[in-house]
Structure 1
Amino acid sequence: MDEAQVKQQSDRDIAASMPLEEFDVSRPELFEREGLHPYFERMRREAPVHYCKDSHVGPFWSITKFNDIIEMEKNHKIFSSDVSVGSFVLDDTTLNAVDGGIDLPNFLGMDPPKHDIHRMAVSPIMAPENLARFEALIQDRTTTVLDGLPVGETFDWVDRVSIELTTMMLATLLDFPFEDRRKLTRWSDLITTRPGQGLVASWEEREAELMECLGYFQGLYDERKSLPPKPDLISMLAHSPEMQDFSPTDFLGMLALLIVGGNDTTRSSMSGGALACHLFPEEFSKAKADRSLVATMVPEIVRWQTPIAHMRRTALEDVEFHGHTIKKGDKIAMWYLSGNRDEDVIDRPMDFIVDRPRARYHLSFGFGIHRCLGNRLAEMQLRILWEGLLERFSRIEVIGEPVRVPSNLIHGFLEMSVKLHA
């Protein structure tokens, strides 16, 4: 066995023997080596509502079953996303002014009615007429990127395909200066990280870069505000009546959501799809023989990868949930990554199946009022990418072990060496 296989076997052995009360599935190193699935599998079977009393993010509950997650998502009056009572992620420090962090408020961290007002300010960007306008542009850019890839040579898929395509799209949504678009990638990575995870050494360094982000966008905001409304996200914010009392922190928080939501999630799915087609080459061949399967292949990629591993809620009152008393103020993680592997809901959940029945029945876009605003655009980008890949190549081969993001939130990749076969 190679080193990665040895570590994965070790995780299986530990997950089978460790007492359940000692499980802590928030540890970033588990995600960095993709070693968390044995823990989730045992939790779904023996402790689907699980309490971890000690972790680097403090005590928290885990919800690991598909239907239990949906039940919690639908009950925002008891299980809150609002940052005034907690946060919408387990690690408060990345989004809140805790232990050196910086406040990044946005509508993912709000409950109705405030959530609805802020979400409506930017939702027109995903109107059908805008999606239709984007399609030809995405097609042209994807063609250019794919035609430029080397055949039979090893290259980094994350950088050459996933980052390039998603960053170009994000620059378009924001009408961001195209020559500076890789700044968006850097800022997206900064928003979801903490010092010591490879990007910055201190909270001060992270804050300085985020202030640079704010300054750059403040210039764009002021410019758009002085011009007639345009169909880009910054102009929509500048001309929204409800957004006129934005503080700099409010603006930065909204930017954080738009940048990460428009970048990290689609990027991770693009890379996860390449890995899935490497691990399940017969599925790639199946889709190549019947291109109509792209319609189910795309949501299956999003399910199989699950680019956002969890969302957090905070209990607003004491509540009984499936035989457990969750106390007011308790932190709760809804593990989408586990729900999308729930054997009671999804057949052969660990497998990638391009013609999976009910492929859209997954949790990767969330559920209820916080369902991903850009899910249709993400699926369009993935559809166009995989139509192009199926047309051009016979196989996608991943060379070595991918380098994964050390995060319990972003389930993605830093590097992935790939060789394409003509």
Structure 2
Amino acid sequence: MSRSSVLLVGADPYVLRACERHDVEAVLLCNSGAYDSGRVRLPAGSTMIRVDDVTNVEDLVAGLHRAGLGDKKFDAVQTSWEFSAVTVAALGRVLGCRTIDPETALYFRDKSLQKERLRAAGVPVTRTALVPDVYDVSEVPWEFEPAVLKPIAGGGTTSTSVVRSRKDLEDASRKFREERETKRTFLLEEFVDGDEWMAEGIAFGGEVLFFGLGIYSEPCLEAVTGQKPISLRRIDPDSEAESYQRAEPVVRAAIAALGLQDGVFHMELFNERETGRIVFSECAARRGGAMTQEQVLAKFNVDLGEAALLCALGRMPQIDVKVNPDVVGCIGFYGPAGTIVSYPTADEMVSRPDVVFAQMWVPPGFVLSPKFSASAEMIGAALLVSESVAAFDQRIEELRDWFGERFVVAEPGLTSGQRWAWQRKHWPDREYRDWLFEVQ
């Protein structure tokens, strides 16, 4: 048998690692950020091609032709990049190889179409109202209060906000006009009071082979709105079996209604506080962020990166679930506005109690914006394994404080004198000297 080959759109280190393990030739089409990062590790015999836009079929096809691979036959094309899902579906049709169905990909991207389909299938889902143009909300019905305003096909929590009145909605509209927001089709969704859960899973042949639940320590949107680092943990299928019993019908019905045949998924759910009802929020045909790969592997012994590759190739993943009885979760790190000067090393973080893995995603010298606007804008994260939920929560708070004390950022907009004062505070031994000899 000839060696399998896969065209990857967007750099995913765990899918690339799976290519090496399964002897799959990989051709990677990635954007400039990944290309310039210096952190993409390619399996032997694989190829990386930089393109300007991984969401544009023309850019992707042209990149292949410029590299002399325009006529190469691939067994599959795959992406873990949220914004490329429909692009990859179309590209698969162009290249004549396996990939997600274009219509299915669309239902996993467009939240309005997604919720309509699930509502028709009888899946409990949040109520919504379409906002055709966020620049003008005068005709948008105000039916639920409060509500969440989000892009129709966004990712993470970018450009997402809570609006508590029609005035808030109009203010948000004005702000988007002033900032010249380019994505103007939005969705207004009822705000559900309750815990925010996520389900990470694998589907093959249209059936859910595996799913594992997680829960945010505080709702994701509230954490971002309050500028507080996100933390979350995995829900244990043994000690918290009742959570799985309530979520499973919704998870399976949603995947069936959306038509995912082979692939991994990341689903957001609400555990409604007053009723205990599980309500569908949204779902993507890729794994979640914030160290989801590492958490699921540590808690359930399931490699979502490997599953994504095998499903793309039409091979059933061999899943051997082994539940870790300890509490597994992670914390994301953010920072104040300014230029990053230094932060604790991964080894220093792993030396902290219960921290088993840590990773920083931006290097020193990176400039942080005044306010993080998306759950994907973390500068790094740490994976924790604790003996109890109480111990996990305690470790999270301790790690936040410890990291914050050691995270050094040069403030923006300071005068020269203020910068010298800032340096004296952090490095008193680096004092600037004004004269050669002291006056006696």
TM over 0.5: no
User: Which of structures 1 and 2 has the larger relative contact order (alpha carbons within 8 angstroms, sep 6+)?
Assistant: 1
State the TM-score, normalizing by the size of structure 2: 0.25
Which has the larger share of helix?
Answer: 1
The TM-score normalised by the length of structure 1 is 0.26
